[in-house]
Structure 1
Amino acid sequence: MTPPGHRPAPWQPGDVREAAGGLFALGLATFVAITTELVPVGLLPLISADLLVSEGVAGLLVTAYAFMVAALAVPLTSATRRLPRKAVLLGALTVYTVSNVLVALAPTFAVVAVARALGGASHAVFFSVSIGYASRLVRPHLAGRALALVTLGASAGFVLGVPLSTSLGTAVGWRAAFLVLAGACALAGLLTALLLPSVPGGGAPPDDAARGARRTALAGVTTANALAYLGHYTVYTYVSVLLLAAGLTAPAIGPALLLIGGLGLIGAAYAAARLDTHPRQTTVVTLLVVGAGVLALGLAFPGTVGTLAAAAVWSIGFGAVAAVFQTAAIRTRGASPDVVGALVNATANIGIGGGAALGALVLDGAGLAAVPYTGAALVGVALLVVLLGRRAFPAGSDSPEA
């Protein structure tokens, strides 16, 4: 029993094994967060038919959500910087729960859009804080592995969350899928409260001669991050539409996304094994695989087998994307961990929202077959930024110096 007036010793970063409970909690919370963000992707045809809007307009549910994150990540992170980090995460999970319940009960598309915007505001805080949180749970040289393990939750969102919600929505209705997701968010909040240790905030970088180089490196990482997500979500937002056009039936979309998404765990495991020792090479290989997969999708479409095979390659690569950019950004030390998290979060969601909007424009203009080529070109530009940015993406795990 703790003596009266005696405070427990503050959390001290350790190795991955010592931080396992906290990393699991963050991974689980990340799973429900990513599933909440992306659940409309597999349900777009159902939502558009029920609410009497086009699939392009329904895709704007992803855009509005992402743009809320992009606009609010930095200001909300700054506004909550004095609050306990764990309390902020738990608050965000509560808002996710409320948002999903409101979507499930919404009578019109406008109400759905407002409820999704509420979820986007929660997302703005959640990922900004969780990225810095994960890096604080372990010693600095283990940050890559810690972030990669937490982003397994994101991969699980692709592997299980989106496909299962798609299958559930197809079987019993899209509204039921959102209600089940609300329950999963509430459960994740409870387990996070029990398992995640409280950690201190702060961690601002030193004000020294290398500050300018660190900030430039951080700008390079976040630029490449935005481009990679822009290319991916230009295509992924409409993946259910692509698969239907490639010959899959509506009931087969969920299982197909489950199989394809499961391969993303290969990329996540690759990142976890190599990010702390070969960060630059890991980033280059990741973007090469993503770009090649999306390009192959364009070349194979509308052939069923070729489209599925290309999507599998694309998914393997994308499983590592979140971890490689989060780790690179943290290691620049261009800002405090929470601000770095906010910038990574904001730029990723600029890419997510921009990709959904750009994909809708291409879909309604040049047509569905042009969507993968657009995405592949943008991933190629992200790869070029990485190749040119040796300070932002160094061969070793050291921070950039002047």
Structure 2
Amino acid sequence: MSTPPVENVASPPAKGEESKFPWVALLALATAAFVGILTEALPAGMLPEMSASLAVSESAMGQALTVYAIASAVTAIPLFALTATWRRKPLLLGAIAVIALSNLVTAISPDYLLTMVFRFLGGVAAGLIWALLVEYARRLAPPHLQGRAIAVTMGGVPLALSLGIPVGTFLSGIFDWRTTFLLVTLLGVVLLAWVLASVPDHRGRRGTAQASVMRAFTSPGVIAVLFVVAAYVLAHNILYTYIATFLIEYDMGGSISLVLLIFGIASMVSILVVGAQVDRRLRMLTIASTVLFAVGTTLLAVFAESGPLVLLAAALWGLGWGGITTLMQTAVTDAGGDAAQALLVTTWNGFMAAGGAVGGILLEVFGPRSFPWSVLLLLVPVLIVVVVGRRHAFPAQRPGMAP
């Protein structure tokens, strides 16, 4: 198996420290992931209130999510190249500060255009955070625990989706949407202090960042991993973005919150399982995640009239989705090194944004019943690529792990 060496300019752990797991620092990084995703998706639960306040249509206000995702996608690689030699901690602190500023301006802005400009800036900062988090997690943990460190760090993503957004929507109902964004701003300020106190600094990378990204792109296995990311994220976002529309089609509009709650709980279970096993079972877990998502989607396609089976489908979907961030981050870094993270961020956010657009086309042309069938069409090639990519992309044994 041929994989490029992972850049690691940090000092190796001192003797006797290999077994220590840096929980405090990793949880700070997980909170950064939580804040980044929460900032991106929070408007989804408050579109009517935000659109009324800023005097625009709900569809126009919905672009607050799209512009954030696109900003992360199109700026990740250029920012990775520009900041390659910079110290990592000031860079991370600066990105968190920009996201906090984006939320503050969103909370107080009376103007739609101003809001969208700062949403874009927030997305740029989030793209930089995604490129930094896995690199940081790998540097903080000993080699045999790097997969677990990535799992802890990326655990903030499903937590934001499963708990943060519903709680934010609930708070906006008690107070208002502007107060909710102010609370997220406060969380960002607390996070700045946490990172400042607990996360160590590291040097940037040596060499040419552009060459590193190109070398990562051409490394064996990277393209296969990026394909899986693209198809998996597109499939998930087609269904997740329009799950309410799909359920209403089958007279289950009253069960939307329950379906999303079960999906969120299952996602957290997936994160825990993947985090405990990813270092030794990345290939098996990726195949299992894809199969679980496909089985859940099949239930939605065939048995959507049955309430209990829909709830089972949501649980299987969550089990298949929750750990995929950790699996793909680990796989792409194993195959292409830290530079591959910028490629993953671009792919992930680009196809996340595409999910809403593709889903909208499917809705207009074929109706909501087409969603699960479309997802299945995307998951079939995903499973094929994972099974075939056993040498470089999804090996049975990760590089550097003892058999």
The structural deviation recorded for 1:201 is: 3.3
Paired with 1:253 and 1:299, the residues of 2 have a C-alpha distance of: 19
The structural deviation recorded for 1:217 is: 1.0
Paired with 2:121 and 2:143, the residues of 1 have a C-alpha distance of: 34
Paired with 1:303 and 1:182, the residues of 2 have a C-alpha distance of: 41
Aligned to 2:234: 230
Residues 59 and 237, structure 1, Cα contact 8 Å, conserved in 2: no
Partner SS state of residue 220, structure 2:
helix
1:139 aligns with 2:145: no
Report the count of equivalent residues: 382
The structural deviation recorded for 1:284 is: 0.6
Paired with 2:365 and 2:227, the residues of 1 have a C-alpha distance of: 27
The Cα offsets for residues 69-124 of structure 1, whole Å up to 9 and x where unpaired, read as 11110110111112211111111111111111222233354443322211110111
1:221 aligns with 2:225: yes
Paired with 2:109 and 2:307, the residues of 1 have a C-alpha distance of: 36
**Structure-2 change in CA distance of 1:301 and 1:240 (3 Å):** same
Partner SS state of residue 221, structure 2:
helix
**Structure-2 change in CA distance of 1:256 and 1:166 (3 Å):** farther
Aligned to 2:102: 99
- Equivalent residue runs for 1:309-348 within 5 Å: 309-332=312-335, 334-335=336-337, 337=338, 339-348=339-348
Paired with 1:107 and 1:300, the residues of 2 have a C-alpha distance of: 46
The structural deviation recorded for 1:45 is: 4.8
Aligned to 1:377: 377
Higher mean C-alpha deviation, range 311-320 or range 100-109: 100-109
**Structure-2 change in CA distance of 1:399 and 1:254 (3 Å):** same
The aligned amino acid for 1:218 is V
Paired with 1:254 and 1:178, the residues of 2 have a C-alpha distance of: 22
**Structure-2 change in CA distance of 1:297 and 1:47 (3 Å):** farther
1:287 aligns with 2:290: yes
The aligned amino acid for 1:344 is L
Residues 298 and 369, structure 1, Cα contact 8 Å, conserved in 2: yes
The structural deviation recorded for 1:133 is: 0.9
Partner SS state of residue 368, structure 1:
coil
Aligned to 1:351: 351
TM-score, normalised by the number of residues in structure 1: 0.85
Paired with 1:357 and 1:284, the residues of 2 have a C-alpha distance of: 27
The Cα offsets for residues 378-400 of structure 1, whole Å up to 9 and x where unpaired, read as 23332222122222110111279
Residues 101 and 178, structure 1, Cα contact 8 Å, conserved in 2: yes
The structural deviation recorded for 1:161 is: 0.9
The structural deviation recorded for 1:260 is: 2.8
1:263 aligns with 2:266: yes
Paired with 1:92 and 1:295, the residues of 2 have a C-alpha distance of: 40
The structural deviation recorded for 1:242 is: 4.1
The Cα offsets for residues 51-75 of structure 1, whole Å up to 9 and x where unpaired, read as 5656554443322211111111011
Aligned to 1:397: 398
Higher mean C-alpha deviation, range 375-384 or range 222-231: 375-384
| Structure 1 vs Structure 2 CA RMSD | 2.8
The Cα offsets for residues 193-250 of structure 1, whole Å up to 9 and x where unpaired, read as 1111223333789x9xxx799713112112211211111111212334445555345x
The Cα offsets for residues 112-143 of structure 1, whole Å up to 9 and x where unpaired, read as 33222111101110010111111111222322
- Equivalent residue runs for 1:38-77 within 5 Å: 38-48=41-51, 56-77=59-80
Higher mean C-alpha deviation, range 83-92 or range 214-223: 214-223
Aligned to 1:3: none
Paired with 2:366 and 2:347, the residues of 1 have a C-alpha distance of: 27
The aligned amino acid for 1:151 is M
Higher mean C-alpha deviation, range 173-182 or range 226-235: 173-182
**Structure-2 change in CA distance of 1:79 and 1:364 (3 Å):** same
Higher mean C-alpha deviation, range 103-112 or range 341-350: 103-112
Aligned to 2:159: 156
Residues 290 and 316, structure 1, Cα contact 8 Å, conserved in 2: yes
Partner SS state of residue 252, structure 2:
coil
**Structure-2 change in CA distance of 1:111 and 1:276 (3 Å):** same
Paired with 2:295 and 2:113, the residues of 1 have a C-alpha distance of: 38
Aligned to 1:247: 252
Uncovered stretches (5+) of structure 1, i.e. residues with no partner: 1-9
Residues 99 and 119, structure 1, Cα contact 8 Å, conserved in 2: yes
The Cα offsets for residues 273-323 of structure 1, whole Å up to 9 and x where unpaired, read as 221111111111111112322343343446554433322221122111000
Higher mean C-alpha deviation, range 234-243 or range 344-353: 234-243
Identity %: 31
Aligned to 2:131: 128
Paired with 1:349 and 1:266, the residues of 2 have a C-alpha distance of: 24
Aligned to 1:4: none
Paired with 1:307 and 1:62, the residues of 2 have a C-alpha distance of: 27
From 9, 25, 30, the counterpart of 1:27? 30
Paired with 2:59 and 2:376, the residues of 1 have a C-alpha distance of: 20
Paired with 2:112 and 2:188, the residues of 1 have a C-alpha distance of: 23
Aligned to 1:5: none
**Structure-2 change in CA distance of 1:320 and 1:212 (3 Å):** closer
